[in-house]
Amino acid sequence: MEVSEKSDIWYAVVNIFAASTKAGAMWGRAESVLKESGVRHVAGRTGEGSNAMKLTCAACEDGYRKFIAVGGDGTVHDVLEGIMSFLEACGRDGRDVSLSDFTLSVIPLGSGNDWIKTAGIPHDIEKAASLLTEGKVARQDVVRVSVLDHAALPEEKVVHVSYMANVGGVGLDARVCERVNREKRRGKRGKILYVTALLYNIIHRVPSYARILCDGRQVFDGPFLSIAFGIGRYSGGGMRQTPDAMMDDGFLDMTVIPDLPIMKIAREAYKLFNGKLLTVKELVWSRARSIVVVPYDGQLPCQCVKGEPLEVDGEVVGRAPVRLEVLEDQLNILVPR
């Protein structure tokens, strides 16, 4: 098969560990829809030392440009990471390939499927698979997330780079992700994991301090409970920390929850799930193309420290300080008409 021909064939990245390891078997139902519809595709499965990111990056090198993420939010994130890893290699080699050359479709088989809610993709295997013939192509932003060396500031020395397709955060939601992922490794599943992890971390919270710059302008300075960033609206099994975010507007939404009294948090917590979070007057909201979070010692305000955990699309990737920036180019995604 020629490389040019592969660019028109869908490459399905099947995460066999999704849906409590049932995704491999469930993929058969989706594949039947694709075969009946005449969708040309091949499939690669995770396992045996090959994860979704490696599969995607290798498929990009082989010439594939259309991908189906078969799994949950973690699979979507890993497929994006694979595409971006390939594009970074192309940049170093001088190859003319761009993000807009790629198209992503999702067949949701994971325990967490938040990305599809903003994109409007049905949480149904057969209906999601049918989008490959009945859907339309839209665009979505991608965010570069650069973990910085706190000891080098104010010079920005990057120690790790990740890419975001949906929602990320520093503080509370990252600690929630840590706890949820730990429980998932123990075989537990369900939205209740997110709720119990949220309650646990609110009760055991310890205030942290940070300065936040949005497009170079300081918008927050002080103790916080959580900082959420989103181009999508949903995370953590349905929480809406960035309820007004848009996937294609070229901006990143940010919501800061300051360190509030426990009773205030208890009274307002339900707004995390009904889209009314921004009506809480104590919160700080901003929208920008670039956001920098600089943690500091509450006792020594000029002393930058390694801060709270940082999560991206449900995966903990490091600790603040961090810089987030919306890329100029966008990714094609398949959505309902």
pTM of structure: 0.91
Task: Give the DSSP H or E segment for 105.
Answer: strand 103-108
Span 12-56, pLDDT tens digits: 999 877 655 667 678 888 899 999 999 999 999 987 667 999 999
DSSP 116-176: HHHHT--S-HHHHHHHHHH-EEEEE--EEEEEE-TTTTTS--EEEEEEESSEEEEEHHHHH
Task: Give the DSSP H or E segment for 41.
Answer: strand 41-45
Span 75-122, pLDDT tens digits: 999 999 999 999 999 999 999 999 999 999 999 986 668 999 999 999
Joined together, the tokens standing for residue 253 give 């939404």
Give the residue-averaged pLDDT of 65-72: 94
pLDDT at 128: 93
Extended strands (E) in 192-301 = 208-214, 217-230, 252-258, 284-288, 290-296
Q: How far apart are the C-alpha atoms of 110 and 113, rounded to whole Å?
A: 6
**Cβ-proximal residues to 255 (8 Å cutoff; 6+ apart), any chain:** 226, 227, 228, 230, 241, 242, 277, 278, 283, 284, 285
Q: Comparing C-alpha atoms, which of 312, 290, 299, 174 is closest to residue 232?
A: 312
Whether 141 and 250 have beta carbons less than 8 Å apart is answered as: yes
For the chain, domains (ranges, CATH) are 3-134 (3.40.50.10330), 143-326 (2.60.200.40)
